[in-house]
Amino acid sequence: MDARLKPKVQPIEVLFVLLPDSLILDWAGPAEALRIANLCMRAAGKPDAFRLRFVGPEARTRSSVGAMVSDIEPLPAQLAEACWVVLVGQPGARIAVDNEPARRLMHWLRGLQFATGRVELLTVCAGAVLAAHAGLLDGRRATTHHQHLDELRDVAPACDVVANRVFLMDGPVCSSAGVTTGIDLFLHRISKVCGPALAAQVAQGMVVALRRGPNDPELSPFLRFRDHLHPAIHRVQDMIGQQPQADWSLPRMAEVACTSPRHLTRLFLTHAAIAPLAYLRNIRLDLAEAALRSGHSVTQAAELAGFSSDTQLRRTWHLLGKAGSPKCRAG
């Protein structure tokens, strides 16, 4: 067929739905990922893959940080054939839907059809709670920010709410845990639409070192064992987090904490419920797993995580009860 006669592929319309006080990072981060994806497509001589639109019940509204957002389009009466509807979170312990903008949004959402065609629902953070209030998560698996998990269960008892996941995919409904996990979700969707190589370019452009997937935990390994208030232990944990590849030993950790090695061990066991060197092993193993998921070889993952060799990585893998053996898990 003559190339001039081929039908032009239309970009996916991405509707970022903005209510008053919408968390700005929930939508700005994913929007930037899509913008960079379009730039990469153009650099490759290809048309844009995405068309970004910002819609809502009000033409002008306040963001979570106080900056005003204007020129917001009305909620469209009809969706494009290929369309993503993006719902984002708001500040507060619970998501209020007893106000006029939210009521108008609920009415609009209940009229949408996600079961057929190429229309998808993507939620970031407590955007899942908005979807639940509209009845869009009944019979589906979904996640949200860990502070809103119980709220999501209350609002949508027919939804299988999954905790501690970066994001979940359930047919045309995709949900992410919150804030930066929204970027992870959109990088995953960009990979499916534009290919993993282009998604990697976008991640590099955003300085996102390791992309996380739907089976990864929401909470960073650097947040585990830190629900204590002891400043000396936090100081050691901060230094390990900044330099996990450094040549850490118990005496060196004790120097950072300004105490003896024996006393540091007692402090860690009392306040963090883990020994210092065991904490270091856990951090390094989590880093190695993330590197393997990003496509690095076992040797590369060992080096990135601070293991002296891939043999030491394998030994730690089995010591901490991991099934199988470490291997590249990209895909």
Q: Note the pLDDT tens digit of each residue in 295-329.
A: 888 999 899 889 999 899 999 999 888 888 888 66
pLDDT of 291 above 60: yes
**What's the rounded Cα separation, in Å, for the pair 190 and 172?**
15
pLDDT of 163 above 90: no
Quote the Cα angle for 23-29-35, to 5°: 135
3-205 and 221-319 in the same fold:
no
pLDDT reported for residue 165: 83
**What's the rounded Cα separation, in Å, for the pair 217 and 224?**
11
In CATH, 3-205 is 3.40.50.880:
yes
pLDDT of 1 above 60: no
CATH architecture designation of domain 221-319: Orthogonal Bundle (1.10)
Across 8-12, 67-71, 197-201, 229-233, the highest mean pLDDT is recorded for 67-71
Parse the chain into domains and list their residue ranges. 3-205, 221-319
Q: Between 213 and 85, where is the model more confident?
A: 85
Residues 6 or more apart whose Cβ sits within 8 Å of residue 276: 236, 250, 253, 264, 265, 268
Mean pLDDT across 238-258: 91
pLDDT reported for residue 216: 60
Task: Residue 85: name the closest of 36, 139, 127 by CA.
Answer: 127
What is the rounded average pLDDT for all residues in the chain?
Answer: 88
Model pLDDT for residues 269-284, shown as the tens digit of each residue: 999 999 999 999 998 9
Measured between alpha carbons, how far is residue 45 from residues 40, 49, 141, 189, 203 in Å? 9, 12, 38, 21, 20
Residue pair 85/121 in contact (Cβ under 8 Å)? The answer is: yes
**What's the rounded Cα separation, in Å, for the pair 209 and 207?**
6
pLDDT of 209 above 60: no
Mean pLDDT across 119-128: 95
